[in-house]
Amino acid sequence: MKVNENGPFVSVAQLAKWSGETWSYQWDSSRTLVKLSGSVDVSKLDKYVSTLRVRGDYQELKHHMITGTVSEGWKDLNVSGPLFQEALWSVMQTHPSNWTPIEYLMEYALNCKLKFPRQQNYDLGRALRNLPSFLREYFIHTLLIDRGIIASVPSPLSNAKDHADLYLTIENEPISFWSFQSTHKGFAMLHRKVKFRATSFADINFVCPFRTAVDAVNVYDWFVPSEQYIDSIVQFTKKFKLSSAKEFESWVLAAGAGHQYLMISAEEMRKLTKD
């Protein structure tokens, strides 16, 4: 598979286009539908997709326009399956500038069926709920490039290996960039990740929380990074210093209190690994 490192992987123009289309329209016009029909019970899948929950109700989803609000409150089946990023990466590489959320869901369902043929259900609710975070990373990627930062999006294999959302090059130094929600849950997950996986992290890691209420702008109900947020990241890269394991743990346990971003080496992270 060709690795498209330049992007953009999503644009405001795409969000605008989606907001004028219904789920039913994207379903019927999907380029993945023919491939899906040969492997999956499409009518069953179609029925499931059309009855997923939107903000506490069970109205038919088919006639809703596609905006960021559909990612809220979706039903989880809690079933195993391939990484959601694999499906998204596949449709973005196949249709770099005009993929759709429906094609992403179809690709995920197809991968489940082909790789886990005995699986009866598909965790489409969780797959779609993860989409806004993927889009946030891709918007950060594009906006950093616009400001002269060397950045690339890792393939799913690279992502699994390095646990990085983006790769940056700052002062000729390769740096892994982590983006996560600045909530107590987000910091707790970060803390857990470090304790169990730090031995496989990159040499230098840029840990960058995202506060939706402060750092986002609403574009068709998708909360994408603001220009000010990206500018603050760029400014941080010009004057950062590496933190110690003690500083990192205090920052994480305080859920980011005191300063927003942090840069830390893998050597310091390894001091925090689970015994």
Residues 118 and 18 in one domain: yes
Residue 7 placed within a domain:
no
What type of residue sits at position 193?
Answer: K
What's the mean pLDDT when you consider all of the chain?
83
Q: How many domains does the chain divide into?
A: 2
Could you tell me if residue 109 is inside a domain? yes
**Any idea what DSSP says for residue 120?**
-
Pairing mode, if any, of strands 262-265 and 204-210?
A: antiparallel
229, 103: one domain:
no
Residue 58: the pLDDT is 46
Q: Cα(91)–Cα(32) distance, rounded to whole angstroms?
A: 9
- Residues facing 205 on adjacent strands: 176, 264
Looking at the structure, do residues 146 and 102 belong to the same domain, yes or no? no
pLDDT level of residue 79 (50, 70, 90 thresholds): low
Q: What's the gap between Cα 218 and its chain centre? A: 17
The answer to whether residue 200 is domain-embedded is yes
**Are 223 and 160 contained in the same domain?**
yes
Contact 124, 105 (CB under 8 A): yes
Q: Which of 36-50, 137-151, 192-206 has the lowest mean pLDDT?
A: 36-50
Domain that holds residue 212: 133-272
- pLDDT, mean of residues 134-161: 89
Q: Tell me what the mean pLDDT of segment 77-88 comes to.
A: 70
- Of 13-22, 99-108, 207-216, 249-258, the one with minimum mean pLDDT is 249-258
pLDDT of residue 226: 97
**The pTM is what?**
0.86
